[in-house]
Amino acid sequence: MLEQDLIERVLNEALKSGGEFAEVFVEDKRSSSAVFDDAKVEELTSGRDRGAGIRVVAGETTGFAHTADLSEDGLMIAARAAASATRSAGASSRTNVLERVVSPSPNQVETFPELVAKERKVNLLIQADEVARSQGAAITQVSARYGDSRRKILVANSDGVFASDDQVRTLFSISCVATGDTGMQTGRESIGRPIGFELFDDVDVDELAERAAQRALTKLNARPAPSGAMPVVIGSGGGGVLFHEACGHGLEADLVNKQASVFAGKVGETVASKLVTLIDDGTMSHEWGAFAIDDEGRPAQRNVLIENGVLVDYMWDGLRSRNEGRASSGNGRRQSYHVLPMVRMTNTYIANGETNPQDIIEDTSSGVYVAQLGGGQVNTATGDFVFGMTEAYLIENGEITEPIREGNLIGNGPEVLNQIDALGNDFDMGSPGTCGKDGQGVPVGDGTPTLRVTSLTVGGTAG
């Protein structure tokens, strides 16, 4: 994207004022999307964003500047602007010899989405719309969305790192509304992978549309969710977002260092049931949060955070790990060149157990089975959370019975980890997601096998 000798000159310019560390992050991102709503194309967009962010660190001070001007003059101006915030009386540093970091991509792209005609993309949306509406007259609204992106990045820093990545992602989602005596109910399905348009060689949009519509139709006959503390079984893939939000964020080193995490200072301690091993893995092939390098040039890694219930480590970016005198875990991520990187998750999941999931259901005399969770709120300092249940059922006499609606799961992340008393052998990843933190969004994945929590508060509307 830019010549190595130019990058070296920019790094040296950034260090002239006495900075201890300098970094250049270059990004060239193309994206397109299409939305089909109310039986017509509502949106058809494409865009490109290209530029560089330059960071200079001296002690506890970080200077940052970004520019869309990738000429040498533009980069030098940005380098001096970043350095101006970190002026030091010490001797100026120099860049180590840049050495290319070679990290294999988790996937090989067969068909780059920008080479595919918009008409083919829109036709997928029309096809999904027709299939969803064919599931019944009660389906009154369908919205389908297609999106793709190709993000080329180059990262170089004064420690000698020189790395690049070409990240392609393709996404398809469909949302249906069914209307009946109980009002309007929704159903949604989505699929996304870090590959090209070949996604649709493996994914049948007809099946996605049918599942979304049937989920909405099923909820028309659902009874209000019960209220109170009870056993909750979470289906494979459906509850990963709970552990991402309620536990994963608390294991990010920046929140730990700020004492804004309930897991601060607990490395080596038992923080979960011995059944629980929690992993963050940026190398997972075909999963939404995968990449070759993070946004600081570190190769993606598989990091065990909790092993057999014991807290092993946190997630680290370059800045926090540098201060601690340790290696980054490959979790330095940023939304774009406009912003600084921070500690972020990639694909976060609870590892497989050994129990047949049907045995878990049969061993639960009564409670709630959650097939899919929706959005929620979490306090990372305490671990307290509230999550909506987008698809859930009663468990009665060891069987999954009637669907329920209008319910939330209320609890505490560390308590949930300790109350997992059964773990299935049916691990699956959930839907692709975008994780928000401090105003930045990055693609992430999450997953679980079927698991049972001995007691969670269900906030329902049933009397």
Q: Which of 4-13, 61-70, 376-385 has the lowest mean pLDDT?
A: 376-385
β pairing state of 440-448 and 347-350 = parallel
Residue 456 pLDDT? 96
- In this prediction, residue 89 has a pLDDT band, given cuts at 50, 70 and 90, of low
- Lowest average pLDDT, out of 98-107, 252-261, 308-317, 409-418, goes to 98-107
- Beta-bridged to residue 47, according to DSSP, are 31
Per-residue pLDDT of 309-361, as tens digits, reads 999 999 999 999 998 999 999 999 999 999 999 999 999 999 999 999 999 99
Per-residue DSSP letters for 232-269? Answer: EEE-TTTTHHHHIIIIIGGGBHHHHHTT-STTTT-TTS
Q: Is 219 helix (H, G, I), strand (E, B) or coil?
A: helix
Instruction: Name the pairing type of β-strands 302-307 and 384-396.
Output: unpaired
What whole-number distance in Å separates Cα of residue 172 and Cα of residue 193? 10
- Model pLDDT for residues 155-193, shown as the tens digit of each residue: 999 999 999 999 999 999 999 999 999 899 999 999 999
d(CA 271, CA 275): 11
Name the pTM for this structure.
0.96
pLDDT class of 463 with cuts at 50, 70, 90: low
The domains found in the chain, sorted by start residue, are 4-221 (3.30.2290.10), 224-459 (no CATH)
Q: Tell me: the pLDDT tens digits for 115-153?
A: 999 999 999 999 999 999 999 999 999 999 999 999 999
Mean pLDDT of 374-381: 88
What φ, ψ does residue 451 adopt, rounded to 5°? -145, 160
CB atoms within 10 A of CB 413: 26
Residue 294 has pLDDT above 60, yes or no: yes
pLDDT at 461: 80
240-249: b (≥16 Cβ within 10 Å) or e? bbbbbbbbbb
CB 213 within 8 A of CB 187: yes
Two tokens, residue 132: 């969803």
pLDDT at 91 exceeding the cut of 60 = no
